[in-house]
Structure 1
Amino acid sequence: MDDGVRVVASSTAGAGGVFVDPLWRVPVRLAPVEAALLRTAPLRRLQFVGHAGASAVTTLQSYSRLEHTLGVLALVAHFRPEDRLLRVAALLHDIGHLPLSHTLEGIGGLDHHALGAELLHADPVRPVLERHGIRPEAVAALLDGQPRTPLTGHPGLLNLDHLDSYARSGRAAGQLDADPAALLERLRLGGAAHSAVSTDRETAAVLVALVRAEARLHTSWDNVGPVSVARRLARRLLDGEELTARRLARLTDAELWSVLDACTATREESRLLRYQPHRLVVTAGAAGAAADEDGGWGFALRKIYRSAPLVGGRPLAEAAPELASELDDLGKLAVEFRVRWDG
């Protein structure tokens, strides 16, 4: 960087010393280890992996996995500014993600948590950590929930990772009416080990609305159709030995599309997905049913997240049962579908 040339506040390269997330607007003074990690290939790669996966084909959910990662760092820095280890864990919590993020999770036995743990203990991440006096094993333990922290939290309770996901997705989908910075000021950490997001009744309603909006997105045509196609294309690549599962795991989104375009077994449908997604027909139905005569296939969502905030440090079901009921209603959403191409 030349002297006198300004680095923008939202730079993801760790060059300016301070990062300001555009969503939360929390200034984060980057520690040397954080700046160094942002210059490693596993972190840089996340700039080229979409957080929303294949649903970016049909929605405006176009932000990257690195943007989310830095948002989580901003939240950790806001609540636990002096917790050096937790801040590093926030930066590294998603380095194992596959291309298209959760879209391809489980394909070829791939799991982003396991892949992330491997990267954490390998070059170039491990040397950076050790050079700054941080044991990779200590970071891995935090990411594994030992001990409980607000980054990973308790099952069923809202943690900082999911908070950023819901808010960032809600903003992209036009579902976030509240000012995120003002919203953040009304949040606290509560529960066991102060590992869950806690707030007042009114703000909890805003958070529950974001959780519900995310669930509706995941069960929508815009997510189910593209994700189901991308998964079957990836399986076709692996079945045809076009590339190994390990190689697939380290691709960026653009590299994956390039491989799909180069393979004769996937080229046509890959282009259909990107340029004619309107031809997808999605209906709720048994995912395990036999193939349709018109070439349809079954698809089942892996899970629907229903993370609940605490209200005044108390469980949502006790403090605001009507809000807890709204989250419970998400269990009624269809999670099995039939998908086909029209015509």
Structure 2
Amino acid sequence: MIYVFTNPTSIHEPFYQTNIHPYPWEYELLQTRTLRRLKFLSHYGVGSLVTAAKHSRFEHTIGVWTIIATLFSKDEELRIAALLHDIGHLPFSHAVERTLGFNHHKLTEERIRGEEISSILLKYGFSPEKIIQLLGIDTPLSHKTNYLSADHLDSFLRDAYMLGKLRVHPSEVLKNISFSHHYVQTDIDTGRRIMEAIHADHLSFLAPINLALDALLAKAISIFAEASNEEVSSIQSLTNNELLQVLINSSHPQVNEIMEVILWYPEKLCFYEEEVEGATKVEVKKIYDKSPLVDGTPLVSICAESNERLAKVRSLKKAHYFTY
């Protein structure tokens, strides 16, 4: 799959195998360093180091934009919001953000207001504040319900596909979905495949080893920042590799020990169901218990198999303990 776009009037999206005709401002946004920085941020967090899910935030962004541009082709502002919705992410995404208290939504707003992005929007008559407003309300791009948005749909499909767990090609899913108001709607068979992807994705990114690696990376950053008298906020503009180099080159022995485990010897991690002396606790507090709609009805309410999968996803909300 090649993510190099040289034609300003037609972009082939390789994941969904479809062509999108970008507006001039979209093509210009795709040339910005702000957006291209996402090529160097893993969508799967530290789990990208131990799984086959090595795709970037950029690929995910193009996928979300493709879904919106395909199904809401005339909604120019929503298409812009889809392109910009993740530009505030930190290296290794949610794990670092949650643990260290960053809010990537706020950082996204700051970058939309920044010169590189806002100058393009204003040049074509768009309000940066209107795009920010769109990112903060319920839309087909993103919303706070138990139904699927374009953002979550692409995440689940892309993760599951890269993990080898998607039993239908993403291009077939795109052909078989529509939106009911803000929510993804499809047929029962496609919906079942989507629920399989949601379940498989959760089993992977909430696996104890991925939770532990996320926690260790956040710990290494905290120790490094305190020991070097640097503000933790200094990492917010870095890429994955830049952050790893900063930590690898640290002179702090505990940071060195943690990075050795993360990068070279994750097999040293030991996991426990119950608390043991010296163990670190990692707790799953959030899951994405989403369901597509079928004829306006949540799939999980009419398909026993999908409802069972959702119950299994919810059962992952628990604590794990590890040592290293």
User: Under a length normalisation based on structure 1, what TM-score does the superposition of the two structures give?
Assistant: 0.88
Other structure's SS at 1:339 match = strand
Kindly state the Cα deviation for residue 252 of structure 1 after the two structures are TM-superposed. Answer: 0.3
Listed one character per residue, the Cα deviations across residues 52-83 of structure 1 (whole Å, up to 9, x for unaligned) are: 01001111111110000001011111101111
Q: Output the aligned Cα RMSD.
A: 1.8
In structure 2, what is the equivalent of residue 181 of structure 1?
171
Kindly state the Cα deviation for residue 219 of structure 1 after the two structures are TM-superposed. Answer: 2.1
The sequence identity of aligned pairs, in percent, is 29
Matched, 1:275 2:264: yes
- Identify which of 160, 185, 189 aligns with 1:170: 160
Kindly state the Cα deviation for residue 322 of structure 1 after the two structures are TM-superposed. Answer: 4.5
In structure 2, what is the equivalent of residue 338 of structure 1?
321
1:251-290 → structure 2 map (5 Å cutoff): 251-265=238-252, 266-285=255-274
Q: Give the whole-Å Cα distance in 1 for the aligned partners of 2:172 and 2:224.
A: 46
Give the stretch that moved more between structures: 66-75 or 277-286.
277-286
The answer for unaligned runs of 5 or more in structure 2 is: none
Q: Give the whole-Å Cα distance in 1 for the aligned partners of 2:205 and 2:100.
A: 22
In structure 2, what is the equivalent of residue 61 of structure 1?
53
| Aligned residues of 1:96 and 1:112 also touching (Cα < 8 A) | yes
| Aligned residues of 2:184 and 2:292 also touching (Cα < 8 A) | yes
| Aligned residues of 2:2 and 2:14 also touching (Cα < 8 A) | yes
Alignment-mate amino acid for residue 204 of structure 1: G
| Aligned residues of 1:11 and 1:19 also touching (Cα < 8 A) | no
In structure 2, what is the equivalent of residue 78 of structure 1?
70
Alignment-mate amino acid for residue 335 of structure 1: K
In structure 2, what is the equivalent of residue 305 of structure 1?
288
Q: Give the whole-Å Cα distance in 2 for the aligned partners of 1:200 and 1:284.
A: 39
Q: Give the whole-Å Cα distance in 2 for the aligned partners of 1:83 and 1:285.
A: 51
Alignment-mate amino acid for residue 226 of structure 1: L
Q: Give the whole-Å Cα distance in 1 for the aligned partners of 2:131 and 2:231.
A: 28
| Aligned residues of 2:208 and 2:320 also touching (Cα < 8 A) | no
Kindly state the Cα deviation for residue 248 of structure 1 after the two structures are TM-superposed. Answer: 0.9
- Identify which of 211, 226, 232 aligns with 1:245: 232
Other structure's SS at 1:204 match = helix
Alignment-mate amino acid for residue 77 of structure 1: A
The answer for unaligned runs of 5 or more in structure 1 is: 1-8
- Identify which of 277, 282, 298 aligns with 1:292: 277
| Aligned residues of 1:50 and 1:99 also touching (Cα < 8 A) | yes
In structure 2, what is the equivalent of residue 225 of structure 1?
212
Listed one character per residue, the Cα deviations across residues 123-170 of structure 1 (whole Å, up to 9, x for unaligned) are: 21111111111101111111101xx32101341111100110001101
Q: Give the whole-Å Cα distance in 2 for the aligned partners of 1:153 and 1:203.
A: 21
Alignment-mate amino acid for residue 157 of structure 2: A
Matched, 1:195 2:185: no
Alignment-mate amino acid for residue 200 of structure 2: A
Kindly state the Cα deviation for residue 318 of structure 1 after the two structures are TM-superposed. Answer: 3.6
Kindly state the Cα deviation for residue 241 of structure 1 after the two structures are TM-superposed. Answer: 4.0
Q: Give the whole-Å Cα distance in 1 for the aligned partners of 2:171 and 2:35.
A: 25
- Identify which of 305, 316, 324 aligns with 2:307: 324
User: Under a length normalisation based on structure 2, what TM-score does the superposition of the two structures give?
Assistant: 0.93
When the two structures are aligned, how many residues end up with a matched partner?
Answer: 321
Alignment-mate amino acid for residue 153 of structure 1: H
Other structure's SS at 2:281 match = strand
Kindly state the Cα deviation for residue 263 of structure 1 after the two structures are TM-superposed. Answer: 1.2
Alignment-mate amino acid for residue 197 of structure 1: V
1:97-112 → structure 2 map (5 Å cutoff): 97-112=89-104
Shift in alpha-carbon separation, 1:44–1:322, aligned structure 2, 3 A: same
| Aligned residues of 1:49 and 1:99 also touching (Cα < 8 A) | yes
Q: Give the whole-Å Cα distance in 1 for the aligned partners of 2:91 and 2:55.
A: 14
Listed one character per residue, the Cα deviations across residues 99-128 of structure 1 (whole Å, up to 9, x for unaligned) are: 001121234321111111111111211111
Kindly state the Cα deviation for residue 271 of structure 1 after the two structures are TM-superposed. Answer: 2.4
Q: Give the whole-Å Cα distance in 2 for the aligned partners of 1:213 and 1:222.
A: 15
Q: Give the whole-Å Cα distance in 2 for the aligned partners of 1:250 and 1:256.
A: 10
